[in-house]
Amino acid sequence: MEEHLPIQGKIERVLINKKGTAVTPARAEELGIKVDIIFIRDDNYVLGAPKNLSDEACKLWRDDWTHFYNPKEGIIRPIGEYTLYF
């Protein structure tokens, strides 16, 4: 089921490499890293990632993510649909 809701929080960090390093959105922009997918955790922490790091981002807090969001679509989806989506 799709939810057409705005994200409750803002992106707090953006994943920039496979090692799990995450930086502020402003720093990611300076580095030329674009957010293609956003993960929302059960405590409302919001992590952005480029498409090539989306699987790594998903693995970071696998049991804590509740939703993911594609900014181009504007639809918040349950995390259970992530593997079907990509």
48-59 pLDDT per residue, tens: 999 999 999 999
- H helices present in the chain, as ranges: 25-30, 54-60, 82-85
pLDDT tens digits, one per residue of 60-77: 999 999 999 988 888 899
With a pLDDT cut of 90, the percent of the chain lying above it is 74
pLDDT reported for residue 2: 45
pLDDT reported for residue 86: 67
Pick the closest to residue 35 from 24, 45, 43, 44 (CA basis): 24
